[in-house]
Structure 1
Amino acid sequence: MITHIVMWTLKDTAEGRDKAANAAEMKARLLALPAKLPLVLDMRVAEGQEIFAAVPATDLVLYTTFKTKEDLNAYAVDPLHLEVVEFVKKVVAERRVVDFES
């Protein structure tokens, strides 16, 4: 099992919206992916008040699991995922990622 965690700090404003609106939009777009990409075993997204302790400050956290490293690699280049990534790049100020085998 491969666990993929991404933590983002969002820009105060981007794409004509404030940070909270962009966080909600990111969360909705991300959570729509597992229904379309069966190689995603589990996906959870926490935002704002749901994040208890993150240093540096984090606005959104993605927790995803995959059966294999190859599945994670396929997810990374899937056009549906890349469509979400294009939006994310416009609204994110900082990104941190960790992947590990569990």
Structure 2
Amino acid sequence: MFIFLLLVSTTAQGLILSGTPQSYAQYSKWYIAINSTLELEFRTRGEDGLLVYMDDGGYYDFLEIKLSGGGLRVRFNQGGGPELFSLGEGLADFNWHKVVEAKITIKK
């Protein structure tokens, strides 16, 4: 699996969550094709929080995108063991940030 993330700032409007543990949005299962793209926008004052989590039902594969200390952290596993990388910092500034070109390619 190949993931490429680019973080840019933009202005937008979106779903507003309260920030409590009971505050979340859940969507239908995403069936990843051979080449899939995920884009998201967020803004927050909180330095830590889960933005996206997907898995294969709890077996091996997962994708996690979260804020950690005000920076974006991406963790994933496509069967070869967990991978982790960080991107950006100072993102808890209540400005809109957009993650674009999160390209996922499944190796067969």
Larger Rg: 2
In terms of fraction of residues, the more helix-rich structure is: 1
In the superposition, the TM-score normalised over structure 1's length comes to: 0.31
In terms of fraction of residues, the more strand-rich structure is: 2
